[in-house]
Chain A
Amino acid sequence: MQKPILVAKRVGKSVPLNGEALTILKDISLTVHQGESLAIVGRSGSGKSTLLGLLAGLDTPSSGSILLARQKLEQLNEDERAAVRAQHVGFVFQSFQLLNSLTALENVMLPIELKQMPNARIQATELLKRVGLSHRLTHYPTQLSGGEQQRVAIARAFAAEPSILFADEPTGNLDHATGNMVTQLLFDLNKEAGTTLVLVTHDPNLAARCQQQISLEAGKIQ
């Protein structure tokens, strides 16, 4: 049995709104083991993205506890959580979030360089070849289609060799066919690298491909 890489215990999140506490998430508990995949589904406003942010250490829960790569996130300050992210976490976003001032290759090289790992250019070129974009290395994001941009984003997410990958609606901005292609790529790479995958999606097909699924409604697991 693999060790759990992500454990959430009775996680809750509330924010102050007009003097009152608005509860976004309540009593969320889950466990994900190394190499597994988890899909978080739910309607708009059900708290999916908030949960993803908490699990990835982008924000801290109001209550409960999150263990990510054996680190208790609620006990770490922002910079310590940043260090955990840098070491273990990769991201894929709905709106791709590529830096427009960098080429496709440079976008993929970025996390490798920030981690000061060797051979950034070679690795990034390999990854872009793997996602079928070897002919687009020197193109800027604005010169790429949505599907191509998301493939660059996926290549970038795997570039730093994360142990866990968080994806927020990775196909949300793509058409059906392109979405399928990107999904396939995501799972293929995930399998090859043995990465844990946590994704938020509306797409039941995408959710069905994950080993675990949780469905949120009004901030609670159904």
Chain B
Amino acid sequence: MTTSYNTLATLAIKQSWREARAFTVLFFALLVAVASSSTVGFFAERLHLAMTSKASEFLGADLVVSGTADATEEQLSLAHSLGLTGTHTVEFSTMLASQEEMVLANIKAITADYPLKGELRSQSALQASETTKYTLEAGHIWLEASLFDRLQLTPGDTVEVGATHLTASRILSHEPAQAGSGMGAFQPLALIHQDDLSATQAVQAGSRIFYRYLWLGDATAISKYQQQVAPLLLPQQRVQTLEDASPPLFQTLNKAQQYLNLTSLVAVLLASVGIALSATHFAQNRLQQAALLRCFGLSRRQTLSLFMLQLLLVGALAASLGAVIGWGAQKALFYMLADLLPQWIPEATLSTGLFSVGIGLLILFCFALPPLLALGRVPPMHVLRQEAAPLPTQAWIIYALALLGLTLTMWQLSLNIGLTLLLLTGGLATAFLLGVAVYGLLALLNQRLSSHLSWRLSLGHLLQTPLLAISQLLAFALIMLAMSLVVLLRNELLENWQQQLPKDAPNHFAFNIMPHEQAGFAQQLNQISSNVSPYYPMAPGRLTHVNGIPIKTYLPDNSPAERTVQRDLNLTWTQTLPQGNQIISGQWWPSQSELAPISVEDKLAKRLQLTLGDKVTFNLGGQPLESQVANIRSVDWGLVQPNFFIIFAPGYLEALPHTWLASFYVNSGRTAELHALRQKYPAVSLLNVKTVLTQLQSIMAQVSLAIESLLIFVLIAGFMVLLAGIQTTLSSRIQQSALLRSLGTKRSFIQRLHVMEFASLGAASGILAWIATELTSFALYRWAFEIPWQPHPWLCLLPLAGALLICGVGMLGTRRVAVTSPIQILHHSN
């Protein structure tokens, strides 16, 4: 037969248009799948870009090469050859002097284009608003508020910086790279222009200078530079990227990303069930048509092509519209979040939209193809004898295809093959076991309830075709599983994040608290702060020997630990392990020890190649003290609290001169009280880390809102799928109902039958969903989100919720059955 594909295409278009109603559910299921996955895709992409750019504000650039050595020519020319934009800063410690006071400060010499990412904010006076309008000019110095306080200056006064005098013109209120430099730099910060650097005469041979080269470029160039610069690095240099700059932020970002993907995956899964159900319905209703076309002489392939074309048309339309809706939805979402987000957010890319459309078409074909293939296999005899069913096929090939499609989709969306395989195999095994259990239950019900007419009629649909009933049960259970999982994760993940960063998380450090001032300081601080960390004593000590070998000999040449041992370390002692610290090996204070037991931070231990039992000698105010490594611990540096590389057991350092250190929370309305505290204890340094926290909190707020708005999509998808499931049984229900009504039963009786059937189906699905949700959440918490899992007693409401939901949707879907007159119904069913 020479029928051209043009003829088939024309027929397909005509039929799709005229039979639009038949495609309603399929169209909307796909629309929801693509709309939700593209909303998430677009949103996550832009959020990721926005967050990455925020994270790079923390660093001040995309990549930083820093160290006590200046950059080499090779490093610079490599960056320039890759097209990177750069600037650099020179940092050193020096005394700042006013007419009244002298204070040791950390000076950062910058150029006009600093920072490359983020912004410098300054104030004209303490109460004035922050602005980004001003750039630091030569001859000027910007000081943090505490320096103005301690030097007793007002903006416009002159400050002595090394060998030169500069005008302290503005108060430095925000400097992006402060988080990147870590909490170790406890000296207050001042910015000067690099043109004034030589005049200070601070940079001399032998002086301790810290160079920071900041680079900006596209992701490929940056990653190339990161790789290629590694062998060119001097021992005193290291590369910092966004991940080094803010690990806690990245953990949050990754979890948020994972959650967003999971939510969209759930929407896609739900839509898949919807597509499979409505495609089955579509195919069943087209068997006769397919047989007729075969009678006309169309080959199997042509027959199949005709229906595939229809599906492709509807699919392409739904998927494109879904992507447009997704684009609009994320636009609206960002518009609503405008107050929380940075002003400029990178635009979403077309490829994300195309990817979502691709996902949509993939699931359409994987889930609609199996039922559709029946249309190609329908024997032409079907047109004469309807019992001539489609030829059986290699079923496993089709299911394998659907499974493959699902795996690919899940992998793409979860970005994690391990998790995908776990969920998939777990899901299949659970579905199989539960399916068998439900099959058994139905067989039992069949025996027990067959004597009750109303049960027999209401469960008739389920009992007569147990396999269909099982697949429907599993589909409904999957919908409920998906919905409850999303709600569950949303609540618990958010709670988990909130716990990680409570609202009154410390936002200031106080250090240099003299022992005699500590009690008074603590008392006054308690009046203005609701959350003060424990106070830790701090004494300086220099590491001199490891296992009796002088440190200079012990360390290999150009060791990365050189910088650590060249200066005094801040040592503390405490009986209890600080919050956020975890013992990796060894014991938190052995009961007996000849030498002073110490606890070493894991990364430092690695750099110094220290293991348990190693003897470490410190020079403490001229006196040697031999200690022994009792344990190695990890430290959560993301927490705003005093953190230490080395902690001593109590009883060894108390006699040394020391100061105290604490972190605390003060809300923004208490500036005056804070100022008073600063006035009363001028020697105490207060460091504000509020900005970092505010940024982190605003990011979390964005993510939470995004998550909440996504729930709506998932719920719509679930609802559509329920309707689709019920639609597949509509014609047989109409027949049964017509028959019963023609036999004289009342409409209310038929409605009651439906209520009983849907409620049983819903309750059974609810029980399955309950079990499956607990199992899945356990797996997800354990392996994907790494948060503690506990049973969720409220899930026992799922059977009730399932009964109500399926009943509600079922009655809505079958309302036509009960309200149409029997004659019309019989006429319709012909």
- A interface list, Cβ under 8 A from B: 49-50, 52-53, 56, 58-59, 78-79, 82-87, 89, 91, 93, 97, 99, 101-102, 106, 110-111, 113-116, 160, 168
Contact = CB atoms under 8 A, between A and B. Distances in A.
Contacts of B294: 58, 82, 85
A22 B299 CA distance: 29
Contacts of A89: 295, 297
B1 A86 contact: yes
B129 to A, nearest CB: 68
Nearest to A140: B18
Interface in B260-311: 288-289, 292, 294-301
A50 B65 CA distance: 84
B11 interface: yes
Given A79-B300, A87-B297, A111-B296, A116 B4 contact: yes
B18 A101 contact: yes
A82 B14 CA distance: 24
Given A58-B380, A82-B299, 14 more contacts: A78-B299, A79-B301, A82-B294, A84-B297, A85-B294, A87-B297, A91-B295, A91-B296, A93-B383, A97-B383, A99-B289, A102-B18, A110-B296, A115-B297
Contacts of B14: 101-102, 106
B60 to A, nearest CB: 64
Contacts of A85: 294-297, 380
28 contacts: A50-B384, A52-B384, A53-B380, A58-B295, A58-B383, A59-B380, A79-B301, A82-B300, A82-B380, A83-B299, A85-B294, A85-B295, A85-B297, A85-B380, A86-B1, A86-B3, A89-B295, A91-B296, A99-B289, A101-B19, A111-B296, A114-B3, A114-B296, A114-B297, A115-B2, A115-B3, A116-B2, A116-B7
B381 interface: yes
Interface in B33-73: none
Candidate in B11, B15, B297 with the most chain A CB atoms within 10 angstroms = B297
Contacts of A113: 7, 10-11
A84 B14 CA distance: 27
A59 B381 contact: yes
B11 A110 contact: yes
A99 B18 CA distance: 11
B296 to A, nearest CB: 5
Contacts of B388: 59
B133 interface: no
Contacts of B300: 78-79, 82
Contacts of B18: 101-102
B383 A116 contact: no
A56 B296 CA distance: 11
A82 B1 contact: yes
A91 B10 CA distance: 23
A145 to B, nearest CB: 13
Given A49-B385, A78-B300, A85-B295, A116 B3 contact: yes
Contacts of A93: 383-384
A212 to B, nearest CB: 21
Contacts of B298: 82, 86, 114
Nearest to B10: A113
B506 interface: no
B353 interface: no
B4 A86 contact: no
Name B's interface SS. helix
B597 interface: no
B379 interface: yes
Nearest to B7: A113
Given A59-B381, A114-B3, A97 B288 contact: yes
A78 B385 CA distance: 17
B333 to A, nearest CB: 39
A53 B297 contact: no
Nearest 10 Cβ contacts at the A-B interface:
A86-B297, A101-B18, A58-B380, A85-B297, A86-B1, A79-B299, A59-B381, A58-B381, A49-B384, A53-B381
Nearest to A99: B289
B385 A50 contact: yes
A116 B68 CA distance: 82
Nearest to A80: B299
A93 B288 CA distance: 12
B292 A97 contact: yes
Interface string B1-28: 1111001001100110011000000000
A160 B2 CA distance: 14
B297 A82 contact: yes
A58 B289 CA distance: 15
A199 B130 CA distance: 94
A199 to B, nearest CB: 13
B456 to A, nearest CB: 26
A99 B22 CA distance: 14
B829 to A, nearest CB: 13
Contacts of B7: 113-114, 116
Given A97-B292, A113-B7, A114-B1, A59 B297 contact: no
Interface string B352-385: 0000000000000000000000000001110111
Nearest to A111: B296
A97 B19 CA distance: 16
A168 B299 contact: no
A121 to B, nearest CB: 13
Given A53-B385, A93-B384, A86 B296 contact: yes
A83 B19 contact: no
A82 B295 CA distance: 7
Nearest to A169: B384
A129 to B, nearest CB: 22
B373 to A, nearest CB: 15
A114 to B, nearest CB: 5
A102 B292 CA distance: 14
Candidate in B1, B14, B289 with the most chain A CB atoms within 10 angstroms = B1
Nearest to B294: A82
A93 B289 CA distance: 13
Contacts of A50: 384-385
Contacts of A111: 296
Interface in B363-413: 379-381, 383-385, 388
A106 B10 CA distance: 12
Candidate in A50, A56, A79 with the most chain B CB atoms within 10 angstroms = A79
Interface string B230-247: 000000000000000000
A201 to B, nearest CB: 14
Contacts of A52: 384
Contacts of A116: 2-4, 7
Contact of A83 (B1, B4, B295, B381): B1
A84 B1 CA distance: 8
Candidate in A59, A86, A87, A116 with the most chain B CB atoms within 10 angstroms = A86
A53 B299 CA distance: 17
A127 B385 CA distance: 28
A50 B11 CA distance: 30
Contacts of A59: 379-381, 388
Candidate in A52, A85, A111 with the most chain B CB atoms within 10 angstroms = A85
Interface string B740-763: 000000000000000000000000
Nearest to B391: A78
